Structure 1
Amino acid sequence: MIEFESLEKGTAIGSHTVQVNRADLVRYAGASGDFNPIHWNERFAKEVELPSVIAHGMFTMGSVIDLVSQWVGNPGAIIDYQTRFTKPVVVEDPEGSNPSDFEGTSILVEGKVGALDSEKRTARIDLAVTANDSKVLLKCQAVVQL
């Protein structure tokens, strides 16, 4: 368990990489009920002027917050989570590959303590999220109650 007194603004909480491929997107579509073809159909995605199939925004958010959940040790300690989507996470599918065998796109998540509130005993965690060498989430922040 993280002790509030041990934290300082700027302290890194770690990083992790999430791999997402087309098979992951199809499974997520089934779980979420979001079958928008931009998440699984290359032709359709390009017809609507996307570079390729893109990951669901909520899939990306859910994958990202796992870093905070693992760090704090209790997902219930996360009392707020907000972000702005800046660029889609493009998930390529090389010709001739098996979608479930291809690693897919890497989403890199890095976190640090952005602010502390000693009265409320909360820490704001700032998350930097990149994929395909671009920031895909902006002002990505979670607040944890300690």
Structure 2
Amino acid sequence: MSHFEPDTVRAGDQLPALELTVTRADLIRYAGASTDFNPIHWSDRHARALGLPGVVAHGMWTMGAALRIVTDWCEDPARLADYSVRFVRPVPVPDDEEGARLEVHAQVTAVEDGLATLALEVRIPGDKPVKVLGMATAHVSVEA
């Protein structure tokens, strides 16, 4: 289902996939906007001291950016009733121009009481994709 039409949303509908990229420059901008200046988001030394592979993306950046699959689809962010996730794995962001890639997929799992329930899958692509958000669920109003 590529275009949102409230009266035609059905369980099983797949939203168009979304590919995201996050770079260290994005993390700096996000840190300024969110006031989250935790050094794991800008210092490899600090991140590694905590057992991380290096600088990682802010969990809230990942959560918010992934939601774009839903808001792009429904074309009106005001239709979003709620959204929740569990943070499963951090997103390592290399110190290069390419950054880290994420794949986001979403499917309508139910439609009832004027709300569509969507399950999101967010992962780092590769030979063995790595899931970064768990239990990612959004509810969108499908009332005309």
TM-score (ref. length: structure 2): 0.91
Of 128, 132, 137, the residue aligned with 2:121 is 128
1:121 corresponds to which letter in structure 2? G
- Percent identity between matched residues is 41
Unaligned runs of 5+ in 1: none
CA distance in structure 2 between the partners assigned to 1:28 and 1:53 by the alignment: 14
Check if 1:140 corresponds to 2:142. no
CA distance in structure 2 between the partners assigned to 1:121 and 1:19 by the alignment: 33
Runs of 4+ in 1 over 2 A off after TM superposition: 1-5
TM-score (ref. length: structure 1): 0.90
Check if 1:49 corresponds to 2:55. no
SS at match of 2:111: strand
Unaligned runs of 5+ in 2: none
CA distance in structure 1 between the partners assigned to 2:15 and 2:50 by the alignment: 38
**1:9–1:114: 8 Å Cα contact kept in structure 2?**
yes
**1:14–1:112: 8 Å Cα contact kept in structure 2?**
no
C-alpha deviation, 1:2, in angstroms: 2.8
1:145 corresponds to which letter in structure 2? S
C-alpha deviation, 1:3, in angstroms: 3.0
- The alignment of Structure 1 onto Structure 2 pairs a total of residues equal to 137
CA RMSD of aligned residues (A): 1.2
Superposed, 1:79-94 pairs within 5 Å as 79-93=81-95
